[in-house]
Amino acid sequence: MTQGAIRGHVLRMTLFMLVGMFTQTLYALVDLYWVSRLGKEAIAAVSVATNLMFLVLAVSQTLSVGAVALVSQAFGRKDEVAVQRLFNQAQCLSIVAGAAYLLGTFALKNAYVSGLASDAATAALAGSFLNWFIPSQALLFVMTGLASALRGVGNMKPGLQAQVGSVLLNMVLAPFLIFGWLTHHPFGVAGAAMASFFATLAAVIGLALYLARKSTYLRVDFSQWRPDWALWRRMLGIGLPSGAEFLLMSVILGVIYVVIRPFGAQAQAGLGIGMRIMQGGFMPAVALSFAVAAVAGQNYGARSFARVRQTFVEGAKLNVGFMLLFTLICQLVGAAMVRGFSKEAGVIEVGADYLHFISFNYVASGLIFVAAGMFQGLGNTMPSLIASVSRLATFVLPVLWLSQQAGFKLHQVWWASVLSVALQMVLCLALLRREFGRRLSTA
């Protein structure tokens, strides 16, 4: 990716990522469709439980960003020895992280669901869902370690095939396990999580078998799995700020669930549906972020600074276009999309209201994603974290204050989110401009 048209490279990697993300989002929406047939408490339970995904994303993103940044730069330098060592160290680190997550979340599971769920029924359903969802998410750490190094060398196909295969298997298994089709043993909301576990396990096995082939560029070498603490610190140092951003998102969502508890399960269900729809529309932004990280990283490693700058320009233009389109869709047919997952008036009202207000920050969010990808490619994600931390002051504190005032309304939370994201975008782009000046200055 150090030669040829930048836009072509960005689009090629984005399209590869989009195929996987599209199937993942399609699964999430189909899964939500089946769960919604169990009632608003089931929707609220799954929404509360899956907030843990942001914790998983925080840690897995830390591993992924560090691996992609270092592997892409080593690959751009044509240093194969370094690429192989980084790949194997990433596998060891991801397994250790997955085991720590598994033990930690099971220990805190009950306290988590009782703190966020709006009632006892929702808490009980969320707990049964997490019994299978936590192990499935622990497996994602292993999958991340395998797929990230492949993405760093520009080989998107194996990770894409594993992801698509996993999602399709998940989609097939979900209704059979939720409703007991054929088996006559329905597992309810727990069945949705069971489907995720078996599908993720199949994807990990598939990627491991692919990398075991002798013809694969990246080779598993267990002799290189002994922890290299200096390399781990370097990898985590690059990835930790980016992962911390997802941890902050988990905190922000946790605050939202806490302040809307008085509005009942229908509010949490409406928020859950709106968020799933929003996440689906954010696919292009996330895919572009991954794409510009790899393209910028390889060109930065090759010292092609003009191409690094052009990577941001192309990514930003594409992202603004995608996000404007999604904003228009949410403004015009937001309620209709929510109605496809619930027929309860209160749930529809909350979900539609959420999409109407929150869509005003889509363009800003898209630019934040592109800037984050550039920071990853440059190997310094601290500025991106600084911009994300700003939301604690511009969103969390005002929302907590508002929730204590008389006449508190849900739309006040959505407006606070829009304003805080706009301020985050301004800070993020200012920090990226500063980073360009420091790292890409030439004679």
pLDDT in tens, 183-194: 888 999 999 889
Q: Is the pLDDT of residue 443 over 50?
A: no
Give the number of other Cβ atoms within 10 Å of residue 291's Cβ. 30
Place of tokens 């209704």: 175
Average pLDDT over residues 110-127: 84
Measure Cα distances from 74 to 6, 65, 241, 299, 300 in Å: 19, 14, 21, 11, 10
Better pLDDT: 64 or 24: 64
Average pLDDT over residues 278-296: 83
In the predicted model, what is the mean pLDDT of the chain? 85
Predicted local confidence at residue 103, as pLDDT: 93
Q: Is the pLDDT of residue 84 over 60?
A: yes
Average pLDDT over residues 142-147: 83
Residue 194, H or E segment = helix 189-211
Burial class (CB in 10 A: 0-12, 13-18, 19+), 78: exposed
Better pLDDT: 129 or 47: 129
The full 3-state SS of 213-256, as one line of letters, equals CCCCCCCCCHHHCCCCHHHHHHHHHHHHHHHHHHHHHHHHHHHH
Average pLDDT over residues 34-51: 81
Predicted local confidence at residue 215, as pLDDT: 66
Q: Is 2 helix (H, G, I), strand (E, B) or coil?
A: coil
Q: Is the pLDDT of residue 354 over 80?
A: yes
Predicted local confidence at residue 1, as pLDDT: 61
Convert the pLDDT of each residue in 217-244 to its tens digit. 788 888 899 999 988 888 888 777 767 7
CA neighbor of 364 nearest in space, from 339, 394, 337, 335: 394
Give the number of other Cβ atoms within 10 Å of residue 229's Cβ. 7
Domain residue limits, the chain: 6-439
Q: Is the pLDDT of residue 270 over 70?
A: yes
